[in-house]
Amino acid sequence: MQTVILAGGLGTRITEKTENCPKPMIRVGEHPLIWHIMRLYSAYGYNDFTVALGYRGDVIKQFFMHYYQMSCDLYVDLELGKINVHDGAVDPWRVSLIETGLETQTGGRLKRLENTLRNETFMMTYGDGLSDVNINDLLAFHKSHGKLATLTAVRPPARFGGLLFDGDRVSQFTEKPQIGEGWINGGFFVLEPGVIDYICDGDASVWESGALEKLALDGQLMAYKHEGFWQPMDTLREHRYLERLWNTGNPPWVVNAEEANI
């Protein structure tokens, strides 16, 4: 099963860090944010990723091009110009890095991946948030209801958009409301290929205010309610908060394979 990571935004709310790199490449501890996100999925055995690139996609490409070598010990023979890689544990990831346009919106990026997503259920998330959401439970919930889309609902700061429910079905998706039930879109999705048909405005399509609203109105959007850790990284303050959590030695978003019951 493919996991799509939207990693093309400009990161305008954290320009202190994104002048020369995309937000998913901002480091939390020793590793970029996208690495932490991929490790969550990998802990549950999902190692096939498609990264939708935009702003400074070259930085993300460079990271993955050199990831194997940088994760292992190297023997370098400068005279002969040879490099041998040995003694290193590398994550078993298979990563497609797809250019989806500098100005393309979130829905438009997904639409550009249409040809690779038409055959099976896939997962999707943003490249700027961390969580300890149980991926197996999320998938099981999605399979149980038979609808086109499942989002992970979380309890966040009030500045985010809101969700209204009819049981577990999302009855309305509201972007940044003044009132609501205290749940928002946490960004960890399970989707059927049919959701692509809800993206109608090409590159200008915004996933959140376009396709998700239509899916909700059609009764095709369900919510998996996650009560655990969730934290976006939209500001320098939030980055510092994640850094502090990492430095404790037990960051709450880290899930290993044993915990995931793999």
DSSP state of 206: -
- CB 230, CB 128: distance < 8 Å: no
Q: Is-above-0.85 flag for pTM?
A: yes
Dist. CA 154–CA 179, nearest whole Å: 15
- For position 175, what pLDDT does the model report? 62
- CB 170, CB 163: distance < 8 Å: yes
Rounded (to 5) percent helix, strand, coil in the chain: 30, 25, 40
CATH class of 2-247: alpha beta
- For position 262, what pLDDT does the model report? 55
Q: Within its chain, how far is the Cα of 82 from the centroid?
A: 37
Q: Which residues pair with 191 in a beta bridge?
A: 122, 149
- For position 73, what pLDDT does the model report? 84
- CB 98, CB 112: distance < 8 Å: yes
DSSP state of 75: E
DSSP H or E segment with residue 123: strand 122-126
Dist. CA 120–CA 231, nearest whole Å: 29
- For position 160, what pLDDT does the model report? 59
Q: Is 31 exposed, middle or buried (0-12, 13-18, 19+ CB in 10 A)?
A: middle
- Name residue, tokens 């095709």: 220
- Nearest Cα neighbor of 261 from 152, 136, 142 is 136
The residue count for the chain: 262
Tokens describing residue 168: 């577990």
Q: What DSSP letter does each residue of 22-38 carry, written as one string?
A: -GGGSEETTEEHHHHHH
Report mean pLDDT in 10-residue bins for the chain, 262 residues: 94 76 94 97 97 96 90 85 78 96 96 94 97 97 98 77 80 60 89 96 95 97 96 91 94 86 60
List the chain domain ranges: 2-247
